[in-house]
Amino acid sequence: MTISQRDSRVIWHPFTQMEIEPEAVGIVRGQGSLLFDEHGKSYVDGVSSWWVNLHGHGHPAIIERITEQLNRLEQVIFAGFTHEPAVELAERLLEILPGYLAKVFYTDNGSTATEAAIKMAIQYWHNKGAPRTKIISFADSYHGDTVGAISASGRSQFSIPFAPLLFDVIHIAPPYEGSQDQSLNELRNALSHKPAAFIFEPLIQGVAGMRLHDRAGLDVLIGECKKQNVITIADEVMTGFGRTGPNFACELLSNNPDIICLSKGLTGGFMPLGATVVSQDIYEAFLANDRSKMFFHGHSYTANPLACTAALASTELLRNPQCAENRRRIENSHKGFAKVLANDPRVENVRHLGTILAFDVKTNATTSYTNELRDKLYIHFLNKGVLLRPLGNVVLCSSAILYY
C-alpha cells in the first residue's frame, strides 16, 4: 500500500474537501527547489511549501545547526526558564526589524502570533484603565484560523460557520490603487469609535488574491492611527524574511507599526515557530507589582530550542550577500516573465512584488476561493511537475531564495 493510500485511511488534511479531492501526493524527499514523491516523480515547489521554505529544502547549514542543538537541549518550559537560542534569536530579530521594537513574545505559528497581538492590544487598554475592544482591519484580509484571528480577518466563506462566535471588527477598504481616498475616509470614520488597534497585511493581501496596496496610501493610514494613539499591528507572517524584496515589507514604509507578527519563513521552513514583537510602550503596560496585569497567554512549545536554532540558521543565511543577490535575480526574472504574461490574452492583472508573482486567469465564473477553475489549474500544473496552489482563478508563485 502506498503512502497516499495509507494517508486516505487515517488523515484529515487542511483546506481540503476530503470527499472529492484526489489522494494526497506522498512526498518522500526534498532537495533545493524540488520535492520527490514515492514514485520518483519530482515537483518544483512553486509556493515554497505554503510560503515557509526560504532557502530550499534540506539546506545543510540549517540541518547542521538543528543537529548540534539536538545534542544539547530539545525542549524546556519557557515560563521561568530560558535558553541561548531564544535569547540570541530575539536579539537578532530586534536588530533587523524596522522601527523601535523592544520585546519578543514567542508562539508557534502565524495564527497564534496574530492572536497574541490582538490580545495584547486589547489588554493594553484594559491595563491602562481605559478599555477598548474594537479592532480595525481590511476587507478581505486574512490573519489566521484561530477564533480571534478569524474575527480580525475579512468576512468570507472561511468564517461563515463561526459567525456567532466572532467579535465585532470594523472593516475598511484596502488602499488599492484608485481606492486610497475611500480607504482613508473609512479609516477616519472607524477611528471615531476609539478602536484598540488596526491590524493589516503590509503591502500585499495574500488570501485575498495577492492584491497589492498603494504604498503611500498604506503609510497614510498608519500615520492616521498614530495621531489617534491607536495601536498598529503589521501581520508580516507571509511577507516577512525577504518575500517582498527587503527583509520585511514594513521597511518599504515610512511609518513603523507598534507590533509585528512573524512566522512562516522565520525558521526557513524547518520548524514551527511564531513571534509577536512589540514596542517598549506596549510591553510596559503589562508591568505591575502584582500578576493581575501580566499577559495571560502561552503555549507548550513556546520558544522551542530546536525551532529557535533553525531560525538563527535561517537568518544567518539571509545576511549572506549571495542571498540578496538571489533575491534580485528572482525579482528580475519575475519582471521579465510579467511582460510575457501581459501579452497573453488568457490572463490579466499581472503583478509582482519581491519574490512573489501573481496573475488572474480570465474566467466567466465567480472568482471565489472554491472556483472550479482552481482545481483545473492545480491539477494542470501538478501534472507538469509544478506545485502551485491557485486562489480561485489567481495563480501565484512565491519562490525560495535558493542557494547553497
Query: Tens of pLDDT along 36-95?
Result: 999 999 999 999 999 999 999 999 999 999 999 999 999 999 999 999 999 999 999 999
64-318: which CATH topology? Aspartate Aminotransferase; domain 2 (3.40.640)
Mean pLDDT of the chain: 94
Domains 3-58+321-398 and 64-318 share a fold: no
Mean pLDDT along residues 1-20: 96
At residue 260, the pLDDT reads 98
In the predicted structure, residue 365 carries a pLDDT above the cut 90: no
Percent of the chain's residues with pLDDT above 70 = 98
Report how far residue 244's alpha carbon sits from residue 265's, in angstroms, rounded to the nearest whole number.
12
At residue 119, the pLDDT reads 98
At residue 205, the pLDDT reads 95
Segment 111-154, tens digit of pLDDT: 999 999 999 999 999 999 999 999 999 999 999 999 999 999 98
By the 10 Å C-beta count (0-12 exposed, 13-18 middle, 19+ buried), 27 is classed as middle
What DSSP state is assigned to residue 265?
Answer: G
In angstroms, what CA-CA distances link 383 with 7, 44, 380, 397? 20, 11, 5, 17
> Which range among 3-7, 307-311, 388-392 shows the weakest confidence by mean pLDDT?
388-392
Helix (H, G, I), strand (E, B) or coil at 172: strand
Alpha helices of 128-239 — where are they, by DSSP H? 147-152, 180-191, 215-227
Q: What is the pTM of this model?
A: 0.96
Segment 196-212, tens digit of pLDDT: 999 999 999 999 889 99
Report how far residue 17's alpha carbon sits from residue 15's, in angstroms, rounded to the nearest whole number.
7
Segment 166-185, tens digit of pLDDT: 998 999 999 999 999 999 99
What DSSP state is assigned to residue 105?
Answer: E
> Please, which residues bridge with residue 183 across strands?
none
| Count of residues in the chain | 404
| Architecture (CATH level 2) of domain 3-58+321-398 | Alpha-Beta Complex (3.90)
At residue 402, the pLDDT reads 63
Q: Where are the beta strands (DSSP E) in 206-323?
A: 211-212, 231-235, 259-262, 274-279
In the predicted structure, residue 104 carries a pLDDT above the cut 60: yes
Reported as a pLDDT band with limits 50, 70 and 90, residue 371 is confident
In the predicted structure, residue 366 carries a pLDDT above the cut 70: no
At residue 58, the pLDDT reads 95
Mean pLDDT along residues 324-332: 90
Segment 242-292, tens digit of pLDDT: 999 999 999 999 999 999 999 999 999 999 999 999 999 999 999 999 999
In the predicted structure, residue 404 carries a pLDDT above the cut 60: no
By the 10 Å C-beta count (0-12 exposed, 13-18 middle, 19+ buried), 329 is classed as middle
At residue 156, the pLDDT reads 84
* Rounded (10°) angle between helices 305-318 and 84-96: 30
Q: Calculate ∠ Cα 20-24-29, nearest 5°.
A: 170
Reported as a pLDDT band with limits 50, 70 and 90, residue 398 is confident
In the chain, what are the domain boundaries? 3-58+321-398, 64-318
Reported as a pLDDT band with limits 50, 70 and 90, residue 159 is confident
Residues contacting 273, CB < 8 A, separation 6+: 106, 107, 108, 109, 263, 266, 267, 304, 307, 308, 310, 311
Report how far residue 369's alpha carbon sits from residue 283's, in angstroms, rounded to the nearest whole number.
38
Spatial contact of 261 and 114, defined as CB atoms under 8 Å apart: yes
Report how far residue 375's alpha carbon sits from residue 393's, in angstroms, rounded to the nearest whole number.
9
At residue 368, the pLDDT reads 65
At residue 287, the pLDDT reads 98
Look at the block and give the residue holding cell 481616498: 181
C-alpha cell at 242: 525577504
